[in-house]
Structure 1
Amino acid sequence: MKRILIIEDDQAIAELERDYLEINGFEIEIATDGDMGLKLACSKNFDLILLDLMLPHKNGFELCREIRKKREIPILMVTAKKESIDKIRGLGLGADDYIVKPFDPAELVARVNAHLSRYDRLTSVDKPMSMQEIIVGKLRILPQAWRVYVGDEEIRLTSKEFELLLFLATNPNIVFTKDNLFNRIWGLEAMGDVATVIVHINRLREKIEEDSSNPSYIETVWGAGYRFKI
């Protein structure tokens, strides 16, 4: 049974999320403030975290940053804020996706299932044998181990960062628009936009490029999109 941590200080919303997810076969634990949420997220094993943005003690941005240092599981931000800057900031700190309150509980369950399915596909030991490691310059991608190295240093990537990098690297020298990448990596069911792609590309460059302002691997093709250079 998949285990989900809900970090939400509004009891009514937390219970609504819990009830719908339990009905759909998930095991749920709830934290009502940032300190409790961080402690549970780092001390117990969960398959996904639903993270509210506005929390007592530590806000969702702080939690996302701290959790990402220790956990690579999907993080879905649940927020009442609609401003794009908040969404972009959350994605920049490592969130995989976001959903804005008020939301349809059935949609929330669908989004949770979608992220868990994508994560399971990425980390499955039953990947096709054709997915051999990819080596370009100092960059080494191990699809079956779900690991990335630059030289001898292992680079920690979120599930969406890894999926995006792997997709580009397995389709080298092909230009993909931001819309193409969003639909392929996040899926048509996601509620984000192309800003999500831009944030993840920038974050990947900061992690794998020697000079993120002059990238060697992920190239911007102005007016068209991005391509992975080999």
Structure 2
Amino acid sequence: MTATMIGPSIGWPGDAGAAIPHQDPSAARRCILLVDDDPDVVEVITGYLHRADYTSIVASDGPTGMALFRRMRPDLIVLDVGLPGLDGIRFCEQVRAETTTPVIMLTGRAEEEDRLRGLIAGADDYLTKPFSGRELVLRIHAVLRRTQVVPAPQRPAPELSAGDLVVNESSRVVSKNGRPLTLTNREFDLFVFLLRNPNQVFGKDELMSEVWNYDFGDASTVTVHMRRLREKIEDDPSRPKILVTVWGVGYRFDPPDAAR
């Protein structure tokens, strides 16, 4: 027996007979907005989401999906790039302008430029069709695990600071010179991880594992998120002094006082 591979092909031996991982039973039932105009893909994905104990709402075009997003405020969006009415790239940009709701993009194109466009628009992750429904569920788990809101402790968590940068982990806000920066959940997680490990070099695969909780995936995801993060953190993103590239190895956080 083989399980359905979501896209134009059938057969995914790695899924055959494999259990579908469930979301954390201690968490409230999470709501996933799926925006895709392919009814076959929608049927398969909603089946996987149901088996993983997620609630799903579905739209088959961009404008309807945007209306549902604004009305329902889902916990995560699974978003096809090629949508009628409002394509996935513009959809993701509008979501990012309003909230930090996690977005996983689906694309039928394997070209790197198409994948990077989604990440630059603010997507947290992407999958290229055809893909395994079980892998999609695992990626949803990973994204939600990184972005879930932790109940505030009775005593405020101490702030992290480095030069003119201040991080409040309870509110997940990074400020520079007292001005809050607009970071996505993944950018926040990446920055805090590096901030907590100053003067250490991390390769892209290490960051994928530590920040994304993935032991697989395209390392260009890290490159794009680092570029976006530098645009918000650095005084001169073209000449970074805090989020430093160690060529051929990876990235390092240099405390601002030491970098000046």
Runs of 4 or more off by more than 3 Å in structure 1?
none
Match of 2:98 among 70, 92, 99: 70
The 1-side partners of 2:41 and 2:218 are apart by 25
Matches within 5 A, 1:111-122: 111-120=139-148
Question: Do the aligned partners of 1:42 and 1:71 also contact (CA within 8 Å) in 2?
Answer: no
Matches within 5 A, 1:56-205: 56-120=84-148, 123-125=149-151, 132-190=158-216, 192-205=217-230
User: What is the total number of aligned residue pairs between the two structures?
Assistant: 227
The one-letter amino acid paired with 1:135 is S
Match of 1:28 among 50, 56, 61: 56
The 1-side partners of 2:183 and 2:71 are apart by 20
The 2-side partners of 1:223 and 1:10 are apart by 41
- TM-align CA RMSD: 1.9
Question: Do the aligned partners of 1:42 and 1:70 also contact (CA within 8 Å) in 2?
Answer: no
The 2-side partners of 1:181 and 1:104 are apart by 23
Q: Whose radius of gyration is greater, 1 or 2?
A: 2
Tell me the TM-score normalised to structure 2 length: 0.82
Q: Is 2:238 the counterpart of 1:213? A: yes
Once the two structures are overlaid, the 10-residue window that deviates more, 38-47 or 78-87, is: 38-47
Tell me the TM-score normalised to structure 1 length: 0.92
The 2-side partners of 1:29 and 1:89 are apart by 25
1:92 is paired with a residue of what secondary structure?
helix
The 1-side partners of 2:58 and 2:170 are apart by 33
The 2-side partners of 1:154 and 1:37 are apart by 29
Which residue number in structure 2 is paired with residue 222 of structure 1? Answer: 247
Percent sequence identity is 39
Q: How far apart are 1:23 and its partner, in Å?
A: 2.3
**Where does the alignment leave 5 or more consecutive residues of structure 1 unmatched?**
none
Q: How far apart are 1:44 and its partner, in Å?
A: 2.1
Question: Do the aligned partners of 1:61 and 1:90 also contact (CA within 8 Å) in 2?
Answer: yes
The one-letter amino acid paired with 2:254 is K
Q: How far apart are 1:35 and its partner, in Å?
A: 1.0
**Where does the alignment leave 5 or more consecutive residues of structure 2 unmatched?**
1-28, 256-260
